[in-house]
Amino acid sequence: YGKQWYQRRVRGESEVREAMVKKCEYLTCIGDKEGALKMLKETLDKTTTTGHKLDLHFHLIRLGLFFSDNKLITVNLDKAKELIELGGDWDRRNRLKVYTGFYAMSVRNFKDAASNFLDTVSTFTSYELMTYLCFIKYAITAAMLTLDRQELTKKVVNGSDINEVLHDIPLFRKYIDSLYNAQYAEFFVALAEIEHFLKKDRMLAKHASYYVREMRVRSYSQLLESYSNLTVNYMANSFGVSEKFIDKELSRFIAAGALNAKIDKVGGIVQANKPDKKNAQYQAVIKQGDILLNRIQKLSRVITI
């Protein structure tokens, strides 16, 4: 206690806190999770300003991301959001969006990842988490899977901030342009290269197979939306693959309910079934209503009025 009092008196509270933060960074760098967590907690207890508290929660999130500790990440994301509402500055608000998007991507929530990443493309400052080029790659990867054509055009294809760096990542330009311009054979080649990128990435490697499968479904759906009937041969030529491959692919995705189509094996025709959105919405409401009624009936057996 005497030593701590002397340090505070000689150096001041801010210098002591800075030294504690440096120790937290050192413990994190050497992979001492428990030591870093203990030191970060002590530092948080001695921190009074909202901005400095947010920086420590960001540090805890990074620690959670490194050790794949989802509980540590979610707890500190929630605390960071609470602090932001109490008066976080503009820069830290944007950084929180990047952290939220990064975590969402790591747990396969590509929709939230795309939303958070694209909101911060022009204001990115989270260099302690990743480089700007890496950030753009993640933003494109998530957006290509989740955005509809109109949003993709607005935010990615015509996005000025993204286009400024695409010359440094030609693979991603090819990936975007080939799907957008319906050059499906080129898209399949680009997708194979994107798969290599995913498999080498620590956060995305476990989602590589899922991502590639969903992007193939998206490309097939995009082609089928333009026609009522297509020959298997035409589709195979469009994607630069064999008829056997496309027949196997379509059969698998149709059986799984991922594609709205039918295959006429005799005629070698793929028939596109245009989904009836209104009917689908009606069926969804009926289903949700049935679930609600069942829950009410179960509650009525337990609760006596």
DSSP string, 67-118: TT-HHHHHHHHHHHHHHHHHH--HHHHHHHHHHHHHHHHHTT-HHHHHHHHH
**Range 243-264 average pLDDT:** 89
Q: What is the mean pLDDT of residues 245-251?
A: 91
Using a pLDDT cut of 70, give the percent of the chain over it: 93
180, 151 Cβ separation under 8 angstroms: no
Taking each helix axis as running N to C, give the angle between helix 184-200 and helix 208-225, from 0 to 180 degrees, rounded to the nearest 10.
160
Structural tokens at position 67: 């050790």
* CB within 8 Å of 203: residues ≥ 6 apart: 65, 102, 105, 106
Token pair of 165, please?
């760096």
Cα 78 from chain centre: 18
Sheet holding 229-231, edge to edge: 229-231, 269-272, 261-264
Q: State yes or no: pLDDT of 4 exceeds 70.
A: no
Q: Does residue 5 have a pLDDT over 60?
A: no
Query: Which residues, other chains included, contact 241 with Cβ-Cβ below 8 Å and sequence gap of 6+?
Result: 188
- Stated as kind and residue range, the H or E segment containing 284 is helix 277-302
- pLDDT category, 61, cuts 50, 70, 90? very high
State pLDDT tens for residues 19-39: 888 888 888 888 888 998 898
Range with lowest mean pLDDT among 71-75, 162-166, 196-200, 260-264: 260-264
Write phi, then psi, for 222 (nearest 5 degrees): -60, -40
Q: Please report the pLDDT score of residue 276 as a whole number.
A: 57
> What is the distance between the alpha carbons of residues 40 and 33, in angstroms, rounded to a whole number?
10
Structure tokens at 283: 């069926």
pLDDT in tens, 141-177: 999 999 999 999 999 999 999 999 999 999 999 999 9
CB atoms within 10 A of CB 67: 14
Q: Is the pLDDT of residue 278 over 90?
A: no
From the list 135, 137, 239, the residue with the least C-alpha distance to 187 is 239
> pTM of the full predicted structure?
0.82
Does the pLDDT at position 90 exceed 80?
yes
Which tens digit of pLDDT belongs to each residue from 191-242? 999 999 999 999 999 999 999 999 999 999 999 888 888 899 999 999 999 9
Question: pLDDT confidence of 10, banded at 50, 70, 90?
Answer: very low
Give the residue from 86, 87, 90, 114 showing the smallest Cα distance to 100. 114
CA distance 187 to 184: 5
Number of CB atoms found within 10 A of residue 70's CB? 13
Residue 68 to residues 72, 111, 211: CA-CA distances in angstroms? 9, 20, 20
The per-residue pLDDT for 299 is: 78
The stretch 262-269 carries a mean pLDDT of 86
